[in-house]
A and B are shown apart, each in its own frame.
Chain A
Amino acid sequence: MNSKGAATSATPTEVGDAGTTKASKTVATIVLAALAVFYLVNALLLPNAETDDGVGPKMFPLVVGIVLLCTTLLGIVSMLRGKADVRPVTGSELLHVLWCIVLFALFTASIFLIGFAEAAAIFSVLTTMTVFGVRLSLRKAVWVLFLGLIIGMILFLIFDVWLNVLLPVGWLEYLVFGGLGL
């Protein structure tokens, strides 16, 4: 009956320390309540361009907003009463998740600055070390960087060169693929 996430994500036993469900509930309550309130407030602010048959751009979102707020409140209540399958979370896990989000955002921003494959290589080594907490010696870190570069180049070859999904080109892609006129 569990969701995919509950099924396949890390279980508490896989976390170093036990963690608490309170943190999970707090994070979920803040996010879900904020989304519901934000949506309903903005639905109320929509222009009321009602047509003859009673449907306009406002009615549907307004009904959805009210339903969303009600279900969110009831959902939060059932979660706080222990009716939901809440996964304990530790502070360090939340920090790792935050790191992953920041690194992915930086990776996305940097592909235009240094090229896809180069950004992918740096992203690989940083994710392995900071998000997953794998301690790497300098030699191993260089190895992971090299592997990331190879994977990045393979993906560039498949998507950009073969499938025409235009990815930002760095100096290495230019030397390897652009220089050869592929």
Chain B
Amino acid sequence: MNTLNDLFGALGSIATSPILLLVILLGVVLGTVAGLLPGVGPSTSIALLLPVAITLPAELSLPLMVSLYLGAEYGGRISAILLNIPGDPGAIMTTLDGHPMALKGKAATALSISALASFLGSILAFLGLAFLAGPMSQLGLAFGPAVYFSVVVMALVLSATLVGSAPMLGLTAVALGVAMSTIGIELQSGLPRFTFGSSTLLEGIEPIVAIIGVFGIGEILASTTMSKDSRAISSLTGRFFPTGAELKQGTLPGLRGSIIGFIAGVLPGAGATIAAFFSYGLEKRLAPASAGMGKGAVRGLVAPEAANNAAVSGSMVPLLTLGIPGSGTTAVLLAYLMMYGLNPGPGFFEANPVLGWTIIGALLVSAIFGMIINIGASPLLAKILAIPMPFMAPTILMLALISCYSIHNSVTDVYIALAFGALGYVMRLVGMSPALLVIGIVLGEMLERNLQQALGLTGGDFWAMISQPLVLLFLGIAVLALLTALPWKQMVGKRLQGKSKSDADDESVTR
């Protein structure tokens, strides 16, 4: 009952505040534009908007950020359908049936159907978030430093093994991020670490600088080979409103996609990309051959779109209730919340009930605005895609410079971001997710702090620290995830394969 009261209270205050409504609308529009432009995703746009947003009070800037996040998930599908290039990673699976639909002359229909699917996913996941946030927050309050340490370890390992092309490279990215979080003064002893005499490094690496570097600058470096000629935009043909049959075909896949998306969002590391991947995979299994999956099937378009939007609200659950980012974008949001002196996690809703519920309420309002804008303004949004990268890239880099410079009014931060940009480019070359590096940086400090506190409570006895049931459970999950990622699994597999082959040979010889 409390949940409903808080929720309706937040929605009421949003509905009666024109400024808040305007901010959310602005966030959705900016997010949609950022999402549709290949190379600018939600993480980059949130990081680049920092100097603007930080001037606003948290009650306005946080709804702006979450609406931007949701808007980007709406926008990512536009370039996926019209260009066959996903605007954001969550829209990768949308290309599989969305673009073939556009090639069949149904681009406008594909955009409308996917916008409706995104809306469905957003609304259902919003309900999940609203009713799960309270109990999860209560659960988090019972966690001590040792349990928190194990939750962070689990989140890091799950993120590393689920995201990116190779689990071992994912673990490398996370470890690199944790390593970078140790730069600066160590709080317990007050001794500087890895500062090499630099006064700038004494405060450590600002997560926002690293984020602007790996996402903003890194993505531009990776897009230096994109030319205007390489883009073939499908024209906006077909009906804008889907038929009854098309809506019927998309209903169940949309519901399934929303549930999968929400669950994937809640899991640390999974996020929108994996949500879309699993929901598409499920639909492919369930669909009859006549459904034409991969050739412009409605269900193939609806399921991943509902899933990637549902994952946004899902990823807010661990962020707001446990302070654990479930994705790269929520890692950016976590760093952003910390800049306001807010500590998301257990007790966040008790300490900031109005702000917490306003963030959740903003997701619902963003979902409604997102659907209206993405259906109504599709032709206009499609035109933005025609802006060539060579002319867009310098502007993004200018924004990156301002965003970094504004943090301490220092160009040193800009050079640090440039170094991270170069690292982000190298990571992209070999399929390493830059989001993992950011998650490592953001969670690294939390990992060390909780380890220090937990060991302090047990007098330095590590085994006493990990002998708690919840600690064992979370560390057990981490170990299991790690075991599946280890390369010796393949070696053992090969050996077993070789053995079974020789056994089979022996058997055939005996016969």
Residues of A at under 8 Å CB distance from B?
Answer: 1-10, 13-16, 24-25, 27-28, 31-32, 35-36, 39, 42, 46-47, 49, 51-57, 60-61, 64-65, 67-68, 71-72, 74-75, 77-79, 83-87, 89, 93, 96-97, 100-101, 104-105, 107-109, 111-112, 120, 123-124, 127-128, 131-134, 144, 147-148, 151-152, 155, 158-159, 163-167
From the candidates A65, A77, A101, A152, name the one contacting B398 in the complex (CB within 8 A).
A152
Which stretch from B102-110, B367-375, B378-386, B455-463 is at the chain A interface? B455-463
Q: List the 6 closest A-B pairs by CB distance, nearest first.
A: A5-B428, A85-B165, A3-B433, A85-B431, A54-B460, A9-B222
B166 within 8 Å of A (CB atoms): yes
Q: Does B51 contact A (CB under 8 A)?
A: yes
CB pair B456–A53 under 8 Å, yes or no, is yes
Known contacts A104-B397, A124-B394: A132-B389 contact under CB 8 Å: yes
B132 at the interface (CB under 8 A from A): no
User: What's the Cα separation between A55 and B188 when bound, in Å?
Assistant: 9
- How far does the alpha carbon of A108 sit from the alpha carbon of B219 in the complex, in Å? 18
Inter-subunit contact B393/A131 (CB<8 Å): yes
Of B178, B186, B219, B224, the contact of A5 (CB 8 Å cutoff): B219
Contacts of A167 on B, CB cut-off 8 Å?
402, 405
Q: How large is the interface on B (under 10, 10 to 19, 20 to 34, 35 or more residues)?
A: 35 or more
Contact with A along B446-482 (1 / 0, CB 8 A): 0010011001101110100000000000000000000
From B189, B191, B225, residue with most partner A Cβ within 10 Å:
B225
Contact of B428 among A9, A53, A74, A159 (CB under 8 A): A9
Decide if B274 touches A3 in the complex (CB within 8 Å): no
Chain A min CB distance to B54 (Å)? 9
Among the listed A3, A71, A104, which residue makes an inter-chain contact with B172, where contact means beta carbons less than 8 Å apart?
A: A71
User: In this complex, what residue of B is CB-closest to A23?
Assistant: B429
State which of A42, A75, A89, A131 has its C-beta within 8 Å of the C-beta of B429: A89
Complex: A64 Cα to B421 Cα, angstroms: 23
Q: Shortest Cβ distance from A25 into chain B, in angstroms?
A: 7
A32 and B39 alpha carbons, distance in the complex (Å): 24
Q: Is the Cβ of B433 less than 8 Å from the Cβ of A5?
A: yes
> Measured between alpha carbons, how far is A31 from B193 in the docked complex, in Å?
21
**CB of B148 to closest CB in A, whole Å:** 15
Q: Which of B221, B393, B451, B455 has the most CB of A within 10 A?
A: B221
Stretch among B291-299, B343-351, B409-417, B497-505 lining the A interface: B409-417
Is B429 touching A24 in the complex (CB atoms < 8 A)? yes
Contacts A39-B179, A78-B169, A89-B429; A123 near B398 (Cβ below 8 A): yes
Select the stretch in B20-28, B80-88, B120-128, B314-322 that faces chain A: B80-88
Q: Which residues of A contact B5 (CB under 8 A)?
A: none
Partner of B175, one of A1, A31, A67, A111: A67
Contact in complex: A65, B39 (CB < 8 Å): no
Contacts of B168 in A (CB 8 A): 71, 74-75, 77-78, 83
Given contacts A4-B328, A68-B175, A79-B430, contact A100 B398 (CB under 8 A): no
Contact B38 A8 (CB under 8 A): yes
Subset of 5 A-B contacts with CB under 8 Å: A3-B163, A3-B435, A4-B88, A8-B41, A87-B430
Min CB–CB distance A99 → chain B (angstroms): 8
- The answer to whether the Cβ of B217 comes within 8 Å of any Cβ in the partner chain is yes
Establish whether residues A4 and B394, one from each chain, have CB atoms under 8 Å apart when the complex forms.
no
B33 within 8 A of A: no
B163, B165, B426: the one contacting A31 at CB < 8 Å is B426
Which of B163, B224, B273 is the most central at the interface, judged by chain A CB atoms within 10 Å of its CB? B224
Report the separation of the CA atoms of residues A61 and B389 in the bound assembly, to the nearest whole angstrom.
40
- CB B290 to nearest CB in A, in angstroms, measures 28
Min C-beta distance of B196 to chain A, whole Å: 8
Contact with A along B36-61 (1 / 0, CB 8 A): 00110101000000011001000000
- A83 contacts B88, C-beta separation under 8 Å: no
> Chain B residues with Cβ under 8 A from A28's Cβ?
426-427, 429-430, 432
Interface centre among B88, B405, B462 (most CB of A within 10 A): B405
Q: Are B429 and A86 in contact (CB under 8 A)?
A: yes
Q: Which residue of A lies closest to B457 (CB)?
A: A53
User: Pick the contact of A131 from B176, B178, B224, B427 — CB < 8 Å?
Assistant: B224
Q: Which residues of B contact A68 (CB under 8 A)?
A: 172, 175-176, 178-179
Q: Are B86 and A86 in contact (CB under 8 A)?
A: no
Is there contact, CB below 8 Å, between A55 and B460? yes
Nearest Cβ in chain A — how far from B310, in angstroms?
A: 18
- 8 Å CB contact of A64 from B178, B397, B426: B178
Contacts of B462 in A (CB 8 A): 54
Contacts of A83 in B (CB 8 A): 165-166, 168, 487
Bound Cα distance from A96 to B393, whole angstroms: 13
What residue in chain B is nearest A117 (Cβ atoms)? Answer: B398
Q: A105-B415, A132-B390, A165-B51 are in contact. Are A100 and B221 (CB under 8 A)?
A: yes
